[in-house]
Amino acid sequence: MGGVTRRRFLQIGGTLSASALLAACIGGGSTKRSRDSSGGARGRQADATIVRTLSSVETAAVVVYTRVIDAGLLSTPVPSELGELFRSHHQEHAELFRRTTADLGGRPFTDPNAVVMQQLGPRLDTLGDEATALRVVFDVETILADTYQATMGTFADKSFNVAAMSVGGAEARHAAAIAPSIGLSPAPQALASPDRAVPAGNGV
């Protein structure tokens, strides 16, 4: 976890709600509103289901990147460097959402999302070159970006909206970086649509 993020965690650790923790982690936001905006026990339970799903899709991304990196398929300099960086981001995101799940009173989910792995797993077994590997990592980044976007308005605690998109925007950057190398536009449309989102609770 990066220095600023860790410091922000440490500064407020244990004194605020999970949402405030997450909001403070991503920077700039007020933590005042989060103290009383968790939606009660039922709201926290619903939010924990969403956050567990988010940690599961991040873990799936870590699995995908690890498979293509370990297979030596990201061999040219830029994809190799970015692959390592993006995997570290997904590890960071997964850890954050596991901690948040626990803070919400839920059981952290540590496995890769089953829906994502059903979609991408068979392709991981037949990867042959860098182009096919990049296509798989592009797909997982797109699924993640769409999944975060699809959470808008579904959280009981509204401060999670900004937290989710702080990660969703980062995933969109990853996808944009990969897209040209597989012949796709890095910014294909003016308005992003969450077509490939994993619904909350699916695959966990």
Partner 1 sequence: MAQTSGDKGLQAFAQSVELALVQAYTEVAAAGTITSPGAVDATTTIVQHHQEHAGVLGDAAGSRATSEPNRRLMNRFRADLRGASNEAAALDVLFRFENEAASTYMFVLSSLEATPALELAASILPVESEHAVVLAGLAHQAPAETFPSFETQDQALKPDEFPVS
Q: Which CB sits closer to partner 1, 50 or 170?
A: 170
User: Is residue 199 at the binding interface for partner 1, with CB under 8 A as the rule?
Assistant: no
User: Is residue 88 at the binding interface for partner 1, with CB under 8 A as the rule?
Assistant: yes
Q: State how far the Cα of 141 lies from the Cα of 148, in Å rounded to an integer.
A: 11
Side-chain-side CA neighbours of 186 within 13 Å: the count stands at 8
Q: State how far the Cα of 41 lies from the Cα of 36, in Å rounded to an integer.
A: 12
Q: Out of 104, 115, 145, 198, which residue is the one contacting partner 1 (CB under 8 A)?
A: 145
Q: State how far the Cα of 135 lies from the Cα of 133, in Å rounded to an integer.
A: 5
Q: State how far the Cα of 138 lies from the Cα of 126, in Å rounded to an integer.
A: 16
Size of the site for partner 1 (CB under 8 A): 47
Nearest Cα neighbor of 52 from 2, 113, 7 is 113
Is there a contact between 121 and 203 (Cβ–Cβ < 8 Å)? no
Q: Out of 12, 43, 114, 173, which residue is the one contacting partner 1 (CB under 8 A)?
A: 173
Q: Out of 81, 110, 118, 201, which residue is the one contacting partner 1 (CB under 8 A)?
A: 81
Q: Out of 67, 87, 89, 99, which residue is the one contacting partner 1 (CB under 8 A)?
A: 89
Q: Which residues bind partner 1 (CB under 8 A)?
A: 2, 5, 23, 25-30, 81-82, 85-86, 88-89, 92-93, 145, 148-149, 152-153, 158-159, 161-162, 165-177, 180, 186-187, 189-193
